[in-house]
Amino acid sequence: MSNNEQQQKSFANIISKKDFDKFSKKEKEKFYIKNEILVKIKHKHSNEQLSIWKSKGRLIELTYEENPKLLDEIINQYLDASLTYWENDYIIDSIKIKVENALNKKEKEKIIKKEHRKYFKKLHKLGLSHWYFLTEEGYVGYGTKNFIGHVKSEIQDNIIEELLTSNSINFYNHSLFTEWAEIEILNGVLDFLKDYTEKNINNDPTTTNNKPTTKEKKAKDKYYSPVFLGKDEENVFFKILEILNAFNQNKNPKKRYFNPLCDAIFNSYKEYQKEIFKHNLKKSEYIHYLKSKYPNEFKSDRLSDGYTHIESVNEVFPQFIKMLKQQKLNKTTTSQQQTNNKVN
């Protein structure tokens, strides 16, 4: 078989569902490896790491990963059938009717702003800020490549099994892809509102150029993180990395040390985690945060096992939690004093 034929190989419908369902877990693993559904990870792990994962019966997770070509096929199949998902004409048409029926330019501007806030909030509620930075201009930052990378990292076994046992995937059954469709719909509406504003409102000489209020400026400057509870909590994360000597003399992450150390922080004692991380934080969200901060160090959607560093992390964590609580107490005291001074 030529290289070109190998590249075009499809994983769709390579086994019947009836035969696949007869497999035990071990038989499925053998089938995945034989048919290149799973391929070996290039990174080499230490014998200690391999021994620990083998004792847990999870050695395959450490040494194999989903074939990128398989994930590409799932993504491409979705994109080929995505027009019905991304249909947002009915929303845009309803907005156009509202705007066209407005009495004057001021009313049109009011409607556009109201609709923008409405759909902007809907997009925000999807909780997608771990792969896009949220601004009043929409989602900017990581871009399409990283967005699709995130989708690939979240693809579940049931989606893969559906591809292997049928000619096509029913994406309506999978929340990951219905969420993606909703993103595209909302982004399309926001793009329309932005274009309409630039063409029909900003360029109109009768429209006033209102300056942002103090409240709007504060809202824009407000700290937001999909990972940490606040700025101080994020600083604790950096302090732990510093004290455990995670950076070299040039302030860059140390190769083959920084990555597993970050894994250890994520897997530290629960009572420590809850002091800095958001509730129910997903590891994929944490990894995407790290990739945005340190793109040269984190090129995979997985972290190296940090088992050997957990003890060190758990030793230094308490002193920073104590410092964090003291900072919060000081802020509260200062705020109360300022309030009292205003009253007096």
Taking the C-alpha atoms of residue 178 and residue 86, their distance in angstroms, rounded to an integer, is 10
pTM of the model: 0.47
Asked whether residue 160 falls in the same domain as residue 272, the answer is no
Asked whether residue 49 falls in the same domain as residue 86, the answer is no
Contacts of 13 (CB under 8 A, 6+ apart): 164, 165, 166, 167
Q: Which of 188, 146, 89, 137 is nearest to 299 (CA)?
A: 146
Range of the domain at 304: 231-343
Contacts of 291 (CB under 8 A, 6+ apart): 146, 298, 299
How much is the pLDDT for 306?
A: 83
How many other β-carbons are positioned within 10 Å of the β-carbon of residue 287? 22
Asked whether residue 193 falls in the same domain as residue 150, the answer is yes
Asked whether residue 97 falls in the same domain as residue 155, the answer is yes
Domain boundary among 66, 92, 107: 66
| CA dist 335 → 224, 324, 327, 338 (Å) | 21, 17, 12, 5
Asked whether residue 104 falls in the same domain as residue 162, the answer is yes
Domain boundary among 171, 193, 221: 221
Asked whether residue 304 falls in the same domain as residue 329, the answer is yes
Asked whether residue 262 falls in the same domain as residue 334, the answer is yes
- Which amino acid would we find at residue 178? T
How much is the pLDDT for 331?
A: 72
Q: Does 72 reside within a domain?
A: no
- Which amino acid would we find at residue 51? S
Residue by residue, what is the 3-state secondary structure of 91-145? HHHHHHHHHHCCCCHHHHHHHHHHHHHHHHHHHHHCCCCCCCEEECCEEECCHHH
Name the β-bridge partners of 139.
134
Which secondary-structure segment (H or E) carries 64?
A: strand 64-66
Asked whether residue 187 falls in the same domain as residue 307, the answer is no
Q: Does 101 reside within a domain?
A: yes
Tokens encoding 39 = 């391929």
How much is the pLDDT for 161?
A: 93
Residue-by-residue pLDDT tens, the chain, 344 positions: 444 444 457 899 999 999 999 999 889 889 999 999 888 877 676 677 667 666 666 666 667 788 889 988 998 888 776 644 445 677 888 888 888 888 888 898 899 989 988 888 887 776 554 444 433 343 444 445 556 777 787 888 899 999 999 988 888 888 888 877 777 777 778 878 888 887 777 665 554 444 545 544 444 456 678 899 888 899 899 989 988 888 887 788 888 889 889 999 998 888 889 899 998 888 888 888 898 888 878 777 788 888 888 888 988 898 888 888 887 777 766 666 666 666 55
> How many domains would you assign to the chain?
3
Taking the C-alpha atoms of residue 290 and residue 284, their distance in angstroms, rounded to an integer, is 10
Report residue 311 CA to chain centroid gap: 28
Asked whether residue 174 falls in the same domain as residue 282, the answer is no
Name the β-bridge partners of 140.
133
- Which amino acid would we find at residue 228? F
**End-to-end CA separation in angstroms for the chain:** 86
Q: Does 74 reside within a domain?
A: no
Asked whether residue 151 falls in the same domain as residue 205, the answer is yes
| DSSP 3-state percent helix, strand, coil across the chain (nearest 5) | 65, 5, 30
Q: Which of 303, 244, 264 is nearest to 65 (CA)?
A: 303
Q: Does 269 reside within a domain?
A: yes
Q: Kindly report the length of the chain.
A: 344
How much is the pLDDT for 35?
A: 92
Q: Does 26 reside within a domain?
A: yes
Domain boundary among 173, 198, 221: 221
Tokens encoding 176 = 């990951």
Q: Does 5 reside within a domain?
A: no
Asked whether residue 106 falls in the same domain as residue 195, the answer is yes
Q: Does 335 reside within a domain?
A: yes
Asked whether residue 61 falls in the same domain as residue 98, the answer is no
Q: Does 34 reside within a domain?
A: yes
